[in-house]
Amino acid sequence: MRTQDALRQAQEKDLDLVEVAPEAKPPVVRILDYSKYKYEQAQKQKSARKHQQQINVREIKFRPKIAQHDYDTKKGHVMRFLKARDKVKVTIMFRGREMAHPERGEMILNRLAEELQELAVVEQRPQQDGRNMTMMLAPQRAPTT
């Protein structure tokens, strides 16, 4: 249909001629109420944003010579983050001569991953980068109740 004919038909019906698929060959147009169309598009976008899942990465820092009570407290924080469906980056910070024993940091990270295996999946195994050793934990796929 010619553009002029389509415009005349739209004006007769007191509606607008709206291009709905400009990339198509030939472009696709519809005769409709533009303000209503715009409103529906905005509602679709709003719904898509609402159903989108936001993933936060929280970080918790440990030391290689961490005391048991401090370890338990920080483990509780990690559990809380995982239950809130956040990813957790666990970092062991080494200072001075502690760098000579990276296996101590790896033991702490592996112990934490083992104790939280019902809540978390190890997304990134422990790895050394400079003076820090990091491991990434992600919440389990299906939430456990």
Report the number of distinct structural domains present in the chain.
Answer: 2
- Is 144 in contact with 119 (CB distance < 8 Å)? yes
Q: Are strands 132-139 and 120-129 parallel, antiparallel or unpaired?
A: antiparallel
Mean pLDDT for the stretch of residues 120-125: 89
Q: Calculate the average pLDDT of the chain.
A: 87
- Residue 142 — very low, low, confident or very high, per pLDDT cuts 50/70/90? low
What is the reported pTM? 0.60
Of residues 136 and 142, more confidently modeled? 136
Q: Within this chain, do residues 35 and 64 fall inside the same structural domain, yes or no?
A: no
Q: What is the pLDDT of residues 77-118, one digit of tens each?
A: 999 998 888 899 999 999 988 888 888 888 999 999 899 888
Q: What is the total residue count of the chain?
A: 145
Are the CB atoms for 136 and 83 separated by under 8 Å? no
The CA distance from 47 to 107, in Å, is 45
Measured CA to CA, the distance from residue 93 to residue 110 in angstroms comes to 15
CATH number, position 124: 3.30.110.10
Residues 32, 81: one domain?
no
Centre a 10 Å sphere on the Cβ of residue 46 and count the other Cβ atoms it contains: 10
Amino acid 144: pLDDT: 47
For 25-47, what is the mean pLDDT? Answer: 87
Q: 92: which residues sit within 8 A by CB, 6+ positions away? A: 61, 62, 63, 64, 105, 108, 109, 126, 132, 133, 134
Same-domain pairing of 43 and 76: no
Q: Does 143 score more than 60 pLDDT?
A: no
Higher pLDDT pick, 51 / 91: 91
- What range defines the domain where residue 71 resides? 57-139
Place of tokens 């048991």: 68
